[in-house]
């Protein structure tokens, strides 16, 4: 599975370039403008994909090393990571084609794959040389951004198909933010206060605040402050887990002292 990981990692930036050139249809920014929500972040936030793609490619090259071909952790990770990378790449043309239900399924499945891989890496008690930088940080950063992107995509599906009131979005947007908070805190706990996961989520939540604080949509300022509150909770949890390692979650129980 080493080669499929590399191919999938290279596929993501290649597909992203074609998507930005309009080969698949409108880009994500244009579609987001068509279906405005109270969860959309400021446009600059999406630049994080460049860093994610770069680090994922670095991970794919790092795991190619022959001496680590049969390493237990990498053997477990590779199928999920290859699937997560591939689903991330496929999401872009699917979303551009505005096949929203299929795009929603793809992004949630990609999150499941990447979050599982990030948890496995966080719980690895015998990491390989370089694993913290080239594997743990890269995979958790990807998972952190997808955790927000999946909720944003959910909000856009709601607006696109008018599943809930689009002129009174605050109530269900706050419910989605509460779901985001629960998801972020639960996964971050399983990752034992992951730096990459936290940074990606904080980047996105801060961008939601920036966008919604300036938005004319009804309830936007409340959504902006709610996003900031979720960010504060996540940051506080991460600091607690990093400063009090005996409280980190491990295998569903409190870990022994480290």
For residue 254, is pLDDT > 60? no
| Backbone φ and ψ of 242, nearest 5° | -75, -35
d(CA 206, CA 48): 13
Task: Supply the pLDDT for residue 223.
Answer: 96
pLDDT-based confidence at residue 247 (cuts at 50, 70, 90): low
167, two tokens: 């002129």
- Give the CA radius of gyration of the chain: 18
- Cα dihedral: 220, 226, 231, 234 (round 10): -150
d(CA 3, CA 15): 18
d(CA 250, CA 126): 14
pLDDT digits (tens, 9 = 90+) for 175-223: 999 999 999 999 999 998 999 999 999 999 999 999 999 998 999 999 9
pLDDT-based confidence at residue 5 (cuts at 50, 70, 90): very high
pLDDT digits (tens, 9 = 90+) for 107-163: 999 999 999 999 999 988 677 887 888 899 999 999 999 999 999 999 999 999 999
Average pLDDT of the chain is 90
Task: Supply the pLDDT for residue 255.
Answer: 42
**Residue closest to 55 by CA, chosen among 151, 120, 130, 147:** 130
Task: Supply the pLDDT for residue 31.
Answer: 86
For residue 253, is pLDDT > 70? no
pLDDT digits (tens, 9 = 90+) for 37-78: 999 999 899 999 999 999 999 999 999 887 777 788 888 999
The pLDDT of 220-247, averaged and rounded, is 91
Task: Supply the pLDDT for residue 246.
Answer: 62
Lowest mean pLDDT, pick from 25-29, 166-170, 206-210, 246-250: 246-250
d(CA 40, CA 204): 9
């Amino acid at each position: 599975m080493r080669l499929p990981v590399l191919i999938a990692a290279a596929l993501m930036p290649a597909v992203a370039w074609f998507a930005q050139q309009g080969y698949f249809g409108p880009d994500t920014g244009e579609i987001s403008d068509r279906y405005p929500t109270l969860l959309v972040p400021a446009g600059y936030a999406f630049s994080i994909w460049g860093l994610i793609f770069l680090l994922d490619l670095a991970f794919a090259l790092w795991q190619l090393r022959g001496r680590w071909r049969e390493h237990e952790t990498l053997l477990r990770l590779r199928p999920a990571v290859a699937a997560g990378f591939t689903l991330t790449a496929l999401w872009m043309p699917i979303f551009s084609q505005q096949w929203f239900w299929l795009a929603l399924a793809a992004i949630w499945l990609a999150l499941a794959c990447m979050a599982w891989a990030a948890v496995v890496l966080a719980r690895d008690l015998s990491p390989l040389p370089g694993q913290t930088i080239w594997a743990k940080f890269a995979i958790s950063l990807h998972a952190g951004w997808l955790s927000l992107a999946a909720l944003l995509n959910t909000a856009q599906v709601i607006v696109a198909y008018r599943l809930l009131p689009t002129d009174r979005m605050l109530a269900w947007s706050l419910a989605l933010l509460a779901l985001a908070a629960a998801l972020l805190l639960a996964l971050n706990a399983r990752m034992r206060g992951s730096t990459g996961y936290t940074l990606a989520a904080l980047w996105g939540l801060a961008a939601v605040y920036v966008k919604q604080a300036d938005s004319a949509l009804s309830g936007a300022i409340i959504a902006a402050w709610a996003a900031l509150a979720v960010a504060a909770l996540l940051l506080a949890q991460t600091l607690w887990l990093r400063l009090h390692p005996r409280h980190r979650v491990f295998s569903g129980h409190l870990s022994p002292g480290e």
